[in-house]
Amino acid sequence: MSNGLVPVKTPDQVTQEKIKAGEIPIATATAIPDSALSSLAAHIRRFWSAAVKAKKAPEDQMLKNLRQIEGIYEPDVAAAIKEVDAPMIYAKLTDAKCRSAIAWIKEVIIQPQPPWSIETTPEPDMPDTVIAQIRNTFIQEAFSTLMTSMSQSGQPVDPMMVFSQVRQMIPVFEEEMKKIVLKKAKEITQKLKVTIDDRLVEGGWYEALEDCIPDIVQLKAGFIKGPVYRKEKVKKPEQSEEGKFKIVYKDQVIPKYEWRSAFNIYPSPDSTGINDGGVIDLISIRSRDLHGLIGVEGFKKEEIEAVITDYGTGGLQEWTKKAAEMEVAMIQGIDSSSVWQSQKIDCLEYWDVVSGKMLIEWGMTKKEIPDPTKQYPICAWLIGTHVIKAMLNEDPLGKIPFHKVSFNEKPGVFWGEGLPELIADIIRSLNACFRAILYNIGVGSGPQTEIDQDRLAPGESPKLWPWRVWLTKNETMLNQPAIRFYAPPMVVERLISAFNFYSKLVDEYSGVPAYAHGDPQVGGAGNTASGLSMLITQAARGIKNVIKNIDRNLIEPTVTAQFEMTIGDEQNIGLIPDYKIIARGSSTLIAKEQQAIRRTEFLAITNNPLDSQIMGAEGRSYLLEAAAQPLDLDLDKLLPNRNNPQAQLPQQAIASPAAPQTLNAGGEPVVGTDFRQFGQR
């Protein structure tokens, strides 16, 4: 008996049920008429549909890369192997090469010292106020010094003569000014470097960089997202009224950096780079975290509540799921059912430019969008049919906060090539040899036997075992033996030669030779320590090119972005000189041992009075510090006065004969007119 209630289901629930029943293909399950959506939501979904279609080929190739690394044959190859009943074995040389390449790159980039530096330009332009301050200080101190010198020598103090002397000193001082400005600029950038490094550590930049490296090697590209602002709880020491300290947790907005999987990034179909066209980042968020976004600037409460309602009634759980996600789970040995049973909601984070009219229709104010006809760079979040967030891009230049690197960059193409792609054809041939070796060993390990079944005695089995005695009969009076044995040819050695040939090709094509990761069988020049070092240096060219790509496309732009954010917060922003961010990853491929040896030799060579006089206390202190750094010594104990080298010298060594001097009216040198002193003030 019916209770009179008719079950009501949302369109999304009906769609999900049809997907599970196989009535609707997953690829077309997200198709919703534009008339049912807001203009901004429809725009993003059209972009998403086109981006998914354009990424099909790169995504399939990345899945092939993962299967090649894990030692899984492609379906067509596996079927052909089964058809000839060959052994289903796989030489996982790609995995070895990828692991070696990843370790090699991490060894170079992930160092105790940051893989970047801030350097001033050769002739930094300091602000006019700083230049004027240095010049005024010089004039005041030079005037005071000359007046004091004349007074002590008993000469009459003539202010006009003093001014004349100061004017004569100014041209010489202007030449020294360049050195003083350069030194001041270096001091400022060194302080900024410490501040920036601290913020990179807090923002997870180093972790994101390390997590990104496997994708660079294994997939078609590796991605770092950032800097993006995130609100996090941080520990802060706080002093109570009684003077006691305690740890409190406070919300703080900090710039963060995140590794993003290449499977989650969807560029526009015609994009050739991150900032050439739009990008969608497929992110996942739990419903409880989604609820916490209510009231946050840029998020729309009604849309978030609608999403939570849809999710609570069984919708939105699979609205973006694709076959690739299932494939990745199976390749990685993860239960594929976990993909469908995930408690997270997929969200499209859309970065591109859209018309102001769409943004005003969504809910932005006229103040935010003064001209509806213009295009504005935005970041929007779409879940299902709901745009829960739309904000103008915070970057003043409208740049998208993603950075991409490929193992093998291809100019004019968004997706590069991973290491597995470079050796895929050779690995296929190598595996054919590998299977043939095992097959030949099995076939050639024993005789092939021919038995005349009519000659066997009743009840005799045709199976072989050691010391078998065969019972036969000869009713047909034949002279041939009842059992014949054939020995198949063993060609394993020739197959191994072919296997080794393809292995060497893998070394050449990958740029990661076997001797670079521990293979002792090098031969030739590699049998000596110096020869092996030369071979590894030559082999490093391929990896060095990858590291240069990381330097140029990941390290430099992210650190530059953090630098720009940092100087915007600095109180002494007016003191910032010309600068350039230098990524030092590729330069560290120089053998550190050789560098340390050369430093030690140089330290010994310059240990003489003439060179010490030329270098001065600061130069010698710098050289000692550089030579001691690789020894892991406490530099503060070794060089307690390294920030003031003059304090370590005897008094008679402090006066440098190379210091510029000025003569007084009597032709005697004026004491204390070393222009270098002004750089210390």
| pLDDT of amino acid 494 | 94
| pLDDT of amino acid 634 | 67
Is a pLDDT exceeding 80 seen at residue 660?
Answer: no
Helix/strand/coil for 658: coil
Q: Give the residue-averaged pLDDT of 489-515.
A: 89
Helix (H) or strand (E) holding 344: strand 344-355
| pLDDT of amino acid 574 | 53
The pTM score is 0.76
347: which strand partners?
A: 283
When pLDDT is cut at 50, 70 and 90, the band that residue 266 belongs to is very high
When pLDDT is cut at 50, 70 and 90, the band that residue 659 belongs to is very low
Helix/strand/coil for 143: helix
* Distance, CA of 386 to CA of 316 (rounded, Å): 11
With tokens 């060894």, the residue in question is 107
Q: Give the model confidence (pLDDT) of 102-150 as tens digits.
A: 998 998 888 888 889 888 776 666 667 767 777 777 777 777 777 777 7
* Distance, CA of 353 to CA of 652 (rounded, Å): 69
Continuous H helices in 219-342? 287-291, 301-312, 323-331, 337-340
Which of 45-48's residues contact partners 24+ apart within 8 Å by CB, and which partners?
45/382, 45/385, 47/268, 47/278, 47/280, 47/350, 47/352, 48/266, 48/280, 48/348, 48/350, 48/382
The dihedrals phi and psi of 311, each to the nearest 5 degrees, come to -65, -40
Q: Nearest CA to 487 among 444, 450, 441? A: 444
* Distance, CA of 614 to CA of 608 (rounded, Å): 10
**Packing angle between helix 205-218 and helix 56-70, nearest 10 degrees?**
90
Q: Nearest CA to 642 among 613, 615, 612, 622? A: 622
Q: Give the model confidence (pLDDT) of 532-542 as tens digits.
A: 444 445 556 77
* Distance, CA of 209 to CA of 470 (rounded, Å): 71
Most confidently predicted of 305-314, 401-410, 638-647: 401-410
Residue 612 CB coordination number (10 Å) = 15
Share of the chain above pLDDT 70, in %: 76
330: which strand partners?
A: none
Is a pLDDT exceeding 90 seen at residue 64?
Answer: yes
| pLDDT of amino acid 651 | 46
When pLDDT is cut at 50, 70 and 90, the band that residue 594 belongs to is low
When pLDDT is cut at 50, 70 and 90, the band that residue 497 belongs to is very high
Look at 461 and 66; give whichever has higher pLDDT.
66
Q: Give the model confidence (pLDDT) of 279-298 as tens digits.
A: 999 998 988 888 888 888 88
Burial of 220 (0-12, 13-18, 19+ CB in 10 A): buried
With tokens 């003077």, the residue in question is 243
Q: Give the model confidence (pLDDT) of 192-240 as tens digits.
A: 888 899 999 999 999 999 999 999 999 999 999 999 888 777 777 777 7
Burial of 117 (0-12, 13-18, 19+ CB in 10 A): middle
Burial of 103 (0-12, 13-18, 19+ CB in 10 A): middle
234: which strand partners?
A: 250
Look at 407 and 324; give whichever has higher pLDDT.
407
Burial of 227 (0-12, 13-18, 19+ CB in 10 A): buried
Is a pLDDT exceeding 90 seen at residue 42?
Answer: yes
DSSP class of 467: T
Output the six-digit token pair for 597: 């040896």
Output the six-digit token pair for 494: 């020739």
Amino acid at 231: K
Helix (H) or strand (E) holding 215: helix 205-218
| pLDDT of amino acid 625 | 79
Q: Give the model confidence (pLDDT) of 325-338 as tens digits.
A: 778 888 877 776 66
When pLDDT is cut at 50, 70 and 90, the band that residue 188 belongs to is confident
* Distance, CA of 456 to CA of 444 (rounded, Å): 26
CB of 586 closer than 8 Å to CB of 549: no
**Packing angle between helix 93-109 and helix 205-218, nearest 10 degrees?**
150
Is a pLDDT exceeding 50 seen at residue 610?
Answer: yes
Burial of 618 (0-12, 13-18, 19+ CB in 10 A): middle
576, HSE (Cβ side, Cα atoms, 13 Å):
17
Output the six-digit token pair for 138: 């010089």
The gap between the terminal CA atoms of the chain, to the nearest Å, is 96
Q: Give the residue-averaged pLDDT of 48-75.
A: 94
CB of 200 closer than 8 Å to CB of 224: no
* Distance, CA of 222 to CA of 415 (rounded, Å): 10
Helix (H) or strand (E) holding 581: strand 579-583
60, HSE (Cβ side, Cα atoms, 13 Å):
6
Q: Worst-scoring range by mean pLDDT, 104-108, 171-175, 232-236, 371-375?
A: 171-175
